[in-house]
A = this chain, B = another copy of it.
């Protein structure tokens, strides 16, 4: 019966890490809601994974969708925020719309999904929230003003939520990915040796470990990088 499986919501279920997380959690017998701006090109056959196209920066849409999921599957046990919109551009050439779009996609989306789901987790008295960060969460970079400001914001948000909600039993973690995830798109873009890239399923394994951490030893932040990465 579906109602017996725990529910996981993945906000940002694109073809790389998002889908790897969906498969991992489905394999661990979660009911998985995979939220994405755009329709996936390839449909998964996995009966535990449910796609939903949604504009995560629209608060009302997120609230409505969450209500439906909770009605159908119960309170979410896992929320993963994994949206990104990579803008790499000289500051003076960046349009106001690019800033807004990046902030909507990366920060407002997180506020919306967390405000919609945390009350259910608090009622259940448990849950795990994981936010995907990047090197740009820790250090600004030339031509990264848009992306880095949004990633920094997300880290400040996550740290604040950890201090607010962890004592109430909700684990809030931030994972810094310092490397390029191996996807069709990134291989074309970076022309990197695949041995130097991160495998999405290996990252998903680390997220799964966070989800399983017992209350006496929770990670708030950890980094992940391929062994050959300079840092």
Chain A interfacial positions (CB closer than 8 Å to B): 59, 90-92, 94, 96, 99, 103, 107-108, 111-112, 114-115, 118-119, 136-137, 139-145, 148-167, 169, 171, 179, 182, 197-199, 202-203, 205-206, 209, 213-231
Counting every copy of the chain, the complex holds 4
What are the residues of chain B within 8 A of A112 when measuring CB–CB? 96
Closest 6 CB pairs of A and B: A140-B159, A152-B156, A140-B160, A222-B222, A153-B153, A202-B217
A220: contacting residue among B162, B209, B225, CB under 8 A = B225
Q: Give bound CA distance, A198 to B164, whole Å.
A: 20
A148 near B140 with CB under 8 A, answer no
Knowing A198-B217, A220-B223, the reply to whether A166 touches B228 (Cβ < 8 A) is: yes
Residues of B within 8 A of A159 (CB): 139-141, 148
By DSSP majority rule, is chain A's interface helix, strand, loop, or mixed?
A: helix
The closest CB in chain B to the CB of A194 belongs to B216
Q: Are B220 and A221 in contact (CB under 8 A)?
A: no
Partner of A160, one of B108, B148, B217: B148
Q: Bound complex: CA of A163 vs CA of B136, how far in Å? A: 13
Least distance between A107 CB and chain B CB atoms (Å) = 6
- A204–chain B nearest beta-carbon distance, Å: 9
A230 CB contacts on chain B under 8 angstroms: 163
Indicate whether A223 sits within 8 Å of B219 (C-beta atoms), given known contacts A140-B157, A156-B148, A167-B228. Answer: yes
The distance in angstroms between the C-alpha atoms of A222 and B156, with both chains bound, is 17
